[in-house]
Amino acid sequence: MKNRFSELFHSKGVNYYSDDLPLQAALAFFGFEGDSDLSGLGRFVSEEFIEALDYIDHYGKPVLKPWSLTGERIDYVRLSPEHRYILDRLQRFGLISKMVNGSESLFYHFVTGYVVSDSGIFCTFTLTAQTAYALQKYADEGTRRSFLPKFSDPEEPWYGATFYTEIQGGSDLGANKTVARERDDGFLISGPDKYFASNAGIADGAVVTARIEGSKDGAKGISTFFVPALRRDGSRNYTIRRLKDKLGTVAVPTGEVEFDDAEAFLLGSREYGIYVAMEILSISRIDDAIAAVGIARKAFWEACIYSTERYAFGKRISDHELLARDMVEMEAELEAAMVVSLMAAREFDRASGSMPPYDERYNLSRLLASLAKNVAAETSAMVTRYSMEIAGGIGFLEEFPMAKFHRDSIVTSIWEGTSNIQALEMLETIVRKRADISLIKRMKELIASLKDRALASDLEKETTLLFERIGRVLKSGEGEFHSKTILMEIGELVATVLMFSIADRSAPGSEIFRSSAKVYYARHFRMAEDYRKLVLGSGSIISWMSDAAASAKK
């Protein structure tokens, strides 16, 4: 029987890693060299993964089975056989094991997030990566030796989770009520309401926030723990109350978890528990940004191919000036979000050796994570929505994958802190940690190396003016009120500098950035005298997607 999924999804067959020219140029700029597994992953995602996940999304979502046939409480989250197959295949590409065994850096994991990107499935790997990261960096020797090797087991690798959120607190972890009691061989955790527990039923162990008895109130009294899914005697260590019905990200089961004297192991020192928890969360924030851009790329790739095959009013819709303008502008926005996200990923990787209360490099990585998550989430929602619009009414139908891309993109602005939380996080890194000093220095170094000296002069002025304006706002006491605007404006500046810097390199794909950077700069900083000519002359920044699709069909 012939598989006709390519008639529903036209970019099936492209390689989402090696065929993505802007990605390759950006990775070269950041000094990253991939391997054959990444190329294999790019092909697998296109040829098998998207079709499988589209089917799981509609017909095979995870289901909680609380009881066994003999009446024993088991809290088994049943996955479809295809879902389990997909998880196994992704594990074999090294999404987690290469980071755990040290053969690749954490940055490698972030790159796989762009290639996979599906918010449901990649959430499972994000949570696993940060659990392994927490064990590797903060567990004591005995705990690390007992549990960390299980995450790179070649036959049955473990999965992880982070159970932070409680219904009364949300992003305010200081309001959490879960309590930990110390005993000779560890801790016992009790709490009725970890309310957004993604990977519940998949995870073999979770990072959990709780307040040790007698600790101070608020966030500074929070400690961070590793909690295995099973006790030492093999019985359940916590209860899954239910799974939630969500708009998107169907593939990752998100549940409500209850603890009743769950066995737990402290991660890091108790007085720095909130720092440890938030550091671990930074991985999710960067993965959110990376995945958001990856989703947008897949949706836009599909829309680009469609626009060259669909005719209206006597010509291809891609040849209509208004749509041509929209697509060039979207490509520029997408590349901007990608480079900021990759910079955040690279800086966090390099700063990951820093310990609480941290150094300048780590504080810069925090600032970049907030910038990336905000820019990427906004861009992803816009690009996926407009990609649906390019396909017209067909794009709105659930029988085609485009709608799923948009549904899955929306959560990236919510998970691990909304845009308001990212704005407040950015404000804290600037006001209290002075991470803006490191960022300004980094931007001016890049600007100084640009070949176009007139452009470099303009960008240096823009940088100085922006941060002078931010300084005045902060002195006025209106920082919180204007923080989201500041967050976006810094993100746009960082994106512009990075895009022009990549355009100056000679790596394959850099020529795409030469046009997209000019379009982005005109949209956000200085409108070109003949913007129409600039945009309509920049068609090559999107034609590579159709070219790759045509090659894949040969």
List, in sequence order, every residue forming a beta bridge with 190; answer none if it has no partner: 179
Which of 386, 520, 366, 380 minimizes the C-alpha distance to 431? 366
Q: What are the DSSP calls for 282-316, one per residue?
A: HHHHHHHHHHHHHHHHHHHHHHHHHHHH-EETTEE
Per-residue confidence (pLDDT) for residue 184, from 0 to 100:
86
Q: What are phi and psi of 520, to 5 degrees?
A: -65, -40
Which of 312, 395, 299, 306 minimizes the C-alpha distance to 10? 306
Q: What are the DSSP calls for 178-189, one per residue?
A: -EEEEETTEEEE
Name 472's Cβ contacts closer than 8 Å, sequence gap at least 6.
Answer: none
Per-residue confidence (pLDDT) for residue 323, from 0 to 100:
94
- In angstroms, the CA 323 to CA 473 distance is 38
DSSP tag of 49:
I
CA dihedral 301, 304, 305, 307 (to 10 degrees): 160
Name 226's Cβ contacts closer than 8 Å, sequence gap at least 6.
Answer: 131, 134, 135, 139, 143, 147, 205, 206, 207, 208, 264, 265, 267
Per-residue confidence (pLDDT) for residue 346, from 0 to 100:
98
Candidate CATH numbers 1.10.540, 2.60.40, 2.40.160, 1.10.10; the one for domain 5-152: 1.10.540
Per-residue confidence (pLDDT) for residue 44, from 0 to 100:
97
Domain ranges of the chain: 5-152, 160-272
CA dihedral 266, 272, 277, 282 (to 10 degrees): -140
Per-residue confidence (pLDDT) for residue 114, from 0 to 100:
98
Per-residue confidence (pLDDT) for residue 213, from 0 to 100:
94
- In angstroms, the CA 12 to CA 339 distance is 25
List, in sequence order, every residue forming a beta bridge with 180; answer none if it has no partner: 189, 212
CA distances from 128 to 76, 125, 151 (A): 18, 5, 8
- In angstroms, the CA 187 to CA 227 distance is 10
CATH fold of the domain at 160-272: Butyryl-CoA Dehydrogenase, subunit A; domain 2 (2.40.110)
Q: What are the DSSP calls for 412-442, one per residue?
A: GGTTTS-HHHHHHHHHHHHHTT-HHHHHHHH
Query: pLDDT of the chain along its 554 residues, tens only?
Result: 888 888 888 999 999 999 999 999 999 999 999 999 999 999 999 999 999 999 999 999 999 999 999 999 999 999 999 999 999 999 999 999 999 999 999 999 999 999 999 999 999 999 999 999 999 999 999 999 999 999 999 999 999 999 999 988 778 888 889 999 999 888 999 999 899 999 999 999 999 999 999 999 998 999 999 999 999 999 999 999 999 999 999 999 999 999 999 999 999 999 899 999 999 999 999 999 999 999 999 999 999 999 998 888 889 988 899 999 999 999 999 999 999 999 999 999 999 999 999 999 999 999 999 999 999 999 999 999 999 999 988 889 998 889 999 999 999 999 888 999 999 999 999 999 999 999 999 999 999 999 999 999 999 999 999 999 999 999 999 999 999 999 999 999 999 999 999 999 988 889 999 999 999 999 999 888 899 999 999 888 999 999 998 888 87
